[in-house]
Structure 1
Amino acid sequence: MSQSHSQAHRSSISQHSHSVSQFINEVEELSDAELIKQVNNLKQQIKILYLENEILERTIIRLDPSLLHGLQQALEYATKLQSTSSLNVGSFVKSQTSKFNMDSLISPSRMLTSPSRVSTKRVESSAKVSGTVIFGTGPRINVLERSELVSTEMEILISNLEKARSKAAKKHALLKAQLEEIGVRVAEVEKAVEMFNQVVLVEGWDKIAQRIPAEIWIRYMAEWMKITDSQIGKLRLRTSTLNTQYSKLKGQIKVKAELSESLRPVDFEKLKIENNECLEIIDRKFQQLGELKKMTGDANLNLTVHKKAMMEQNAYLADIFETIKTKQKQTVELDKERAVIERQADSLEQQLAVVQKSREAYIAPDVLEYTRARATAADLRRSVALLENSVRVQQNALAALNNKLGIIIIN
């Protein structure tokens, strides 16, 4: 085993020195622009190889992590082997690399690239066989297999991302609910403190005794306890309702999960047939609904016409009722007037009867007697006027005598 190992080591050193010498010869034939382009290509290929190695490592860890047990020892051995081969060809490399820095191109963990060919050589694969690391040519991975590995890793990453996103959303909702609860508690505490300051410290302060009476404090605490008990009862009722709803929804989810486990493709086909039948029924119902809408539109049109006619009839009927009320009021007023006129007519009939009786009993006097009566009445009026004048004169004289008598008595 040690002999095969030394042979493999010598063959590796010879191949490495031959590739390095070939690479140095080809580098001397390149211009600066081509060399920069080649270096950029190497960097891009190294980046791609790094991503491929990372995906392969993820795949191996996911499928069989035991395959990576001897990988670190293989990498360390490859590094030592690469360092040994570099020392053997160091004198030749130093003479040819005075202008170029080859440390970045000849790396123990990267592939050697030929500038004349854009394709890259694989890094020698390693495997751990009976505790000894042996270098050989491993199986190649084609483009389809790489694409499949990348797709699988992307699906896994997307699934993990969705799980993390769902977990973060749940945590965010929980934190938001906790913040809302803390905000409600803070508002209630601030409200309680404000009420306490207003009721106990401000309104309960006794200016005469310069203190807060204990009765106010006890009464406030008793009222506050009553309010708290009522709120606790409401919250308990609400909590019980929410727990009932939660248990109900949990049972529904459990039933749906059980049903989803017991479903078969035949059930989906049956459900599909039932859905098609339901869609046909829905189409028929939609057609019937369209016909019913058309009939409803015609009925609404007829209803509008009859409603308009009915409104006109109602307006005409309202006018008739108003006219009837007016006529009734006029009838009442006319009845009152008729009663008054009847009373007036009765009184006038009575007066007429009296006048008729007086007319029947009246006898026209003689003209001479009438003249004498007129003369007698004129004489009597003159006599009355003379008597009134004499009375006024006597009253004035009496007043004067009374005045004189009063003056005399005072003296």
Structure 2
Amino acid sequence: MTDDEIESVLSDSHEGSEQELPVIQLCGLVEELSYVNSALKTETEMFEKYYAKLEPRDQRPSRLSEIKMSAADYAQFRGRRRSKSRTGVDRGVGLTVDQKLELVQKELEDTKDDLRHMRANAERDMQHHEAIIEEAEIRWNEVARAVHEFEKDILKAISKKKGSILATQKVMKYIEDTNRRRDNMKEKLRLKNVSLKVQRKKLLSQLRQKEEVGEALHDVDFQQLKIENAQFLETIEARNQELTQLKLSSGNTLQVLNAYKDRAKAEAVNKRLRKQLAEFRAPQVMTYVREKILNGDLEKSIKMWERKVEIAEMSLKGYRKAWNRMKITNEQLQADYLAGN
């Protein structure tokens, strides 16, 4: 809602105050004014933040929220605003939509930056706490293992009879072993620290050399590198074209080779068939007639035996039926005989 609309609402509310308005209309007017006030408050706070970032601290004016005004002064101030709105006196021009949009975008970018920094700090803190927890767990495991070993080696010896001297010796040995392990660990950590320092120094020297080499390069060197790069690119393009042509030639060669292979196979089959045809000899007429007669006799014999097999199968079926009838009759006779006795 613009300032003109706000002034119109205020003037309408002032004029309506002279008349009696319904309660529903008054509630709607109050709700609308509350919404307008909240929007103006948000815009004012955003503008104050943006203005505070631009102006130095000693030149910043007092914020609107810090200005204290009495009720009479506030009423007089509102009366002056209403009189100005009625008389049509020119007022200060407010922010345009583009300016408000720019302020909102800057505020959004600042908020995103703050969130990014907060996320980075939170991740760093989380990693730090995770490292502390991991170190505490390792230390706890070491302490638990030491307690277990102490109970296993010392307390069991003390609980036995006449074990005080032996227990004292074991305690001293345990302390010496613990100190020795600690010294060994300290020496290992010292050597590791020295090696890490040497590695860090080496990396720093390499980085310094790279920076010096980078500073030593001039525009002429960069131009020369660009020319060489272009030449290499042209050479690579030519080699790629040659490779493409070689691939095409290889494909054509494979096709021709496959065609020759198929042709060789066909020629081999043709040669074998020609050889069989050359070696083939037609039989004599009488031999052919005898073979034909013999073939006919064999076919007749096969048909005759097939007929005999069919007759034998039919006879077998009849014999099976007769056998089944005889078996049933025998069973009935046995049953009658047993019933008569």
TM-score by length of 1: 0.43
Q: Is the 8 A contact 1:59 1:149 kept in 2?
A: yes
Residue aligned with 2:17, SS:
helix
Question: What is the aligned partner in structure 2 of residue 60 from structure 1?
Answer: 51
Correspondence list, 1:298-313, <5 A? none
1-structure distance, mates of 2:222, 2:41: 47
- Of 49, 52, 57, the match for 2:40: 49
Asked if residue 22 in structure 1 is aligned to residue 15 in structure 2, the reply is yes
- Of 142, 155, 164, the match for 1:211: 164
Relative to structure 2, which stretch is displaced further, 236-245 or 152-161?
A: 236-245
1-structure distance, mates of 2:16, 2:217: 66
Asked if residue 69 in structure 1 is aligned to residue 84 in structure 2, the reply is no
Question: What is the aligned partner in structure 1 of residue 293 from structure 2?
Answer: none
2-structure distance, mates of 1:49, 1:263: 58
CA change 1:82–1:223 in 2 (3 A) is closer
- Of 161, 171, 186, the match for 2:140: 186
1-structure distance, mates of 2:71, 2:218: 57
Q: Give the deviation of 1:205 after TM superposition.
A: 3.1
Q: Is the 8 A contact 1:201 1:212 kept in 2?
A: no
1:190 alignment partner AA: A
Question: What is the aligned partner in structure 2 of residue 356 from structure 1?
Answer: none
- Of 96, 113, 118, the match for 1:142: 96
Q: Is the 8 A contact 2:158 2:164 kept in 1?
A: yes
Q: Give the deviation of 1:230 after TM superposition.
A: 2.1
Cα-Cα RMSD: 5.0
Question: What is the aligned partner in structure 1 of residue 318 from structure 2?
Answer: none
1-structure distance, mates of 2:117, 2:190: 35
Q: Give the deviation of 1:271 after TM superposition.
A: 9.1
2-structure distance, mates of 1:187, 1:54: 55
Correspondence list, 1:288-307, <5 A? none
Question: What is the aligned partner in structure 1 of residue 118 from structure 2?
Answer: 164
CA deviations over 1:112-145 (Å, ceiling 9, x no partner): 8xxxxxxxx8xxxxxxxxxxxxxx9434210111
Question: What is the aligned partner in structure 2 of residue 195 from structure 1?
Answer: 149
Residue aligned with 1:69, SS:
coil
2-structure distance, mates of 1:239, 1:178: 20
1-structure distance, mates of 2:185, 2:54: 58
CA change 1:139–1:270 in 2 (3 A) is farther
| Total equivalences in the alignment | 231
2:106 alignment partner AA: T
CA change 1:196–1:73 in 2 (3 A) is closer
2:45 alignment partner AA: E
Q: Give the deviation of 1:25 after TM superposition.
A: 5.5
CA change 1:73–1:270 in 2 (3 A) is farther
Q: Is the 8 A contact 1:27 1:35 kept in 2?
A: no
Question: What is the aligned partner in structure 2 of residue 326 from structure 1?
Answer: none
2-structure distance, mates of 1:215, 1:85: 95
CA deviations over 1:155-195 (Å, ceiling 9, x no partner): 11211221121122112111111111111111111111211
Question: What is the aligned partner in structure 1 of residue 333 from structure 2?
Answer: none
Q: Give the deviation of 1:200 after TM superposition.
A: 1.7
CA change 1:71–1:176 in 2 (3 A) is closer
Q: Is the 8 A contact 1:59 1:153 kept in 2?
A: yes
TM-score by length of 2: 0.50
Which structure's CA Rg is the greater one?
A: 1
Question: What is the aligned partner in structure 1 of residue 327 from structure 2?
Answer: none
2-structure distance, mates of 1:268, 1:41: 67
Q: Give the deviation of 1:222 after TM superposition.
A: 2.1
Q: Is the 8 A contact 2:48 2:63 kept in 1?
A: no
Residue aligned with 2:179, SS:
helix
Question: What is the aligned partner in structure 1 of residue 74 from structure 2?
Answer: 82
2-structure distance, mates of 1:270, 1:46: 67
Higher helix share: 2
1:24 alignment partner AA: S
Asked if residue 239 in structure 1 is aligned to residue 230 in structure 2, the reply is no
1-structure distance, mates of 2:33, 2:224: 60
CA change 1:155–1:43 in 2 (3 A) is same
1-structure distance, mates of 2:182, 2:27: 80
Residue aligned with 1:138, SS:
coil
CA deviations over 1:356-380 (Å, ceiling 9, x no partner): xxxxxxxxxxxxxxxxxxxxxxxxx
2-structure distance, mates of 1:230, 1:174: 27
